[in-house]
Chain A
Amino acid sequence: MNPPARDPGLQPERTRLAWRRTALTVTVVAMLTVRLALTGGPAGAPLAVLAVLGWGATVALCWRRATGTGVSGTGGRTLAGVGLCAAGFALIGVLLVLRGV
């Protein structure tokens, strides 16, 4: 167990790493989305573009929060932004699956 005195250095670091893990997870999800969109023919291209844009937005938000002075204070908009992007990927996925039915 770490004594409390050592904690302040670790908390921001752990949070930064958590943001990076999230960015990596979003990358995997984006790749799966693009693959699903393009396997069904060119009709899925707009949704593939949307997925790439969503990936870019999420990674940019994660990057901004994980580097620089990001990890301090309340990051309401950043958190809501990445949350809504994740939900957006779910929506794109549902549209792509229903397209194939």
Chain B
Amino acid sequence: MPGRNRIITTVWQRIRNWFDPRELRSVGTTPDYRFSLANERTFLAWLRTGLALVAGGLAAAQFLPALPLVHLREAIAVALLLLGGAVAIRAVDHWARTERAIRLGGELPVSRFPAVLALAVGLGALLLLVAVLAGAVNS
């Protein structure tokens, strides 16, 4: 399947871009270093967001009391952990793509990810609120 091969090649190329600064440095022109540093700080802010989600998941797993639904606590923990891991991986990818765009003088990559993340967190909070209220009414 040529389409699938192309996707695999693209994914592999992206992962190589994460790890090979020489290849990233070889494209385009070296930008004003302040832009690179700003991009790096944005990456770090995203990484800390991911780590905060991971910390939330770890804290939920060990500090949350038993919830009205079976395994709800574990489900919350796993969801937060997976979300945090995804945010961290995506931060690396977005950093590499942005760096490339800055060097090539192109448009910065746009992404639906922040909106999706915000909706997921908001929806999760809402579901949890419903679960807690349901538990309070039942007991």
Contact = CB atoms under 8 A, between A and B. Distances in A.
A3 B79 CA distance: 44
Interface residues of A, number: 43
Contact of B74 (A22, A32, A91, A100): A100
Contacts of A14: 37, 41
B58 A29 contact: yes
Given A76-B24, A90-B85, A97 B61 contact: yes
B74 A101 contact: yes
Which of the four size classes fits the interface of chain B?
Answer: 35 or more
B107 interface: no
Contacts of B33: 11, 72
Nearest to B87: A86
B78 interface: yes
Contact of B40 (A33, A79, A96): A79
B45 A18 contact: yes
Shortest Cβ-Cβ A-B pairs, 4 listed: A90-B85, A76-B21, A83-B92, A86-B88
